[in-house]
Each structure stands twice: as structure tokens, then as C-alpha cells.
Structure 1
Amino acid sequence: MLFLDEPTTGLDPRGRSEVWAAVRELVAEGTTVLLTTQYLDEADQLAGRIAVLDHGALVAEGSPAELKSRIGGDRVEVVLHDAADLPAAAALATRVTGAEAERGDNGFSVPAHDRVRVLAGLAAAFDGAGIGIADLTPRRPTLHEVFLELTAREVPV
């Protein structure tokens, strides 16, 4: 068993990749690795199981996929060519998906339980309505989003 505490802190991208490769090789050879990290993309890449701690208390445990599924499924991110189309496009996306579009600065996102169907439906609907799409991207929740959701609490003012 190997214990690693924040092994990539301060490393450049190449050094970080080399540490990741070494950890993967050790695991493939049968070594159990216990890794602590605040870099959640690192945990997503390397961990078979993750324990999320908040102020010293265990708040969740599971594989990266299991933890991501706890806060909801995939989403489709939409960026439009013309920001003036945002209200109409968001309303159209809500009608197509049956779910509320969550608006952001440059576009919006909608839940996508069946990513292919939602992508195809949105593309066809926007094309039919003459709404120009700059980007239409399926996205799974990140472990960063999982952590923020699982550890959310009121912050005193």
C-alpha cells in the first residue's frame, strides 16, 4: 500500500502527467494507492473510489461516475451566435427537452438524459427557428461541481 499526500502540488503539467502515469502503473501492478488531493480532476483521472470530506466528516463515497450521478445527469451546453436570440432559444430548448434551461452569460444549458436525442432535437429546433448556434456540447458533471453541491452550506455574512 502506498500513501500519497498531494503528490502533484507545485508540479508543471509534464511532471503532473508523469506522476499520474507512475500511479497508474503501480495500480496496474496491484499496489493499493491512497491519494489525498484537492485537485478534483486528478481524483477523476486516477481514483477508482473517492471519499469526499467536508470539515473532517465523510459526506459521500463512491466511484467518480457514482458521485457525478448523485447531482444529476448530463447537460447540453448551448452558445449562440447572437446573444439577442438567448430568450427565444432558451424557451425553445425548454419546450424541446421538457426541462428548464439554466441561463448563463453567453448561453444556457439543459438537462440531457439522452444526450444524442437532446443534441439532435435542439439542433433541428434551432435550425428550424433560424437561431444560429456557435456551440452545442454535451457535458457530464465534474467532480468540482459534485464537491460544491455536496458541501454546500450557508455562509455567515
Structure 2
Amino acid sequence: MKATLRRVHAAQKDDEIPPNEAIIAPLEAELKLVRMNDDNRALDHLSKSKEASLLDAERSGEISMAKASWVERLTQIVGELEEAVMSGGAAANVEEKKIFDCELARAKISANGDAVVIANYWKDTDKKVMPVKQWLEERRVFQKYITI
């Protein structure tokens, strides 16, 4: 705009050039239109941004409400399960104790059988069970031969 004014002042010597007001008025009107358009675009952008933010906030609120609902439902389910376990726990414990006792008895029988087999394997020539000290010494010697 300043450059235009300089040209106008420089050319004022010429009689054919219109007065400054005739040149400046359309430029000012155009400038006002540009500023109004810029302001309108900025307002439009802000409105759209505000609307998008409101929609995001609404979606976030809905998601939060859904999550809270799920948490409440999970808490309720956990409570129901705890009640079921507590009420059925006594009967289940008796049954599980019977099963545990049977398994323990089987394990003891198996361990005793294994102990007899091992003891018979380690008997010496006199049919006596080898003393632990002797067994450990023979085992140590045997392992030396294996690692060599």
C-alpha cells in the first residue's frame, strides 16, 4: 500500500492521475473485505474446532461412563463369585481333603516301594543294606569314572 502511495505522489505532477482519495478508497474497501474474510475464516475455524472438541469431550464422557459401568459390573460379579466360593467352600474342602488323603496315601505307598527297590539294589553280598557312608563313597568313585 505504501508503495502505491509513493507512486501516486510521484505521479501527481501528471494531470491525468485521479486524486489520492479515489485511489485510496477502493484499496481501503478491499482491505476491509480481506480482513472481514480473514475474520470470518478464523471464526469459522474456531467454531469447527470448538464443535470437534465438544464432540470429542462427549465421546470421552460416553467411554468413561461405559468403563465405569463395566467396573461396577465386574465388582458385582466378583462379589457374587466370592459368595459362591464361601458358601460352597465347606463342601468342596471336605471333598478335596478326601481326594488329597487318597493321593497322599498313594504317594506314600509308591515312595515305600521305591525305597525297598533301592535298598535291595544297594545290598551288599551279605544281603544287608549298605551303610550310607559306604554308598556315598561308592557313588563318588562311580561319578569320577563317568566324568572321565
Provide the TM-score with structure 2 as the length reference: 0.13
Q: Greater share of helix residues, 1 or 2?
A: 2
Larger Cα Rg: Structure 1 or Structure 2? 2
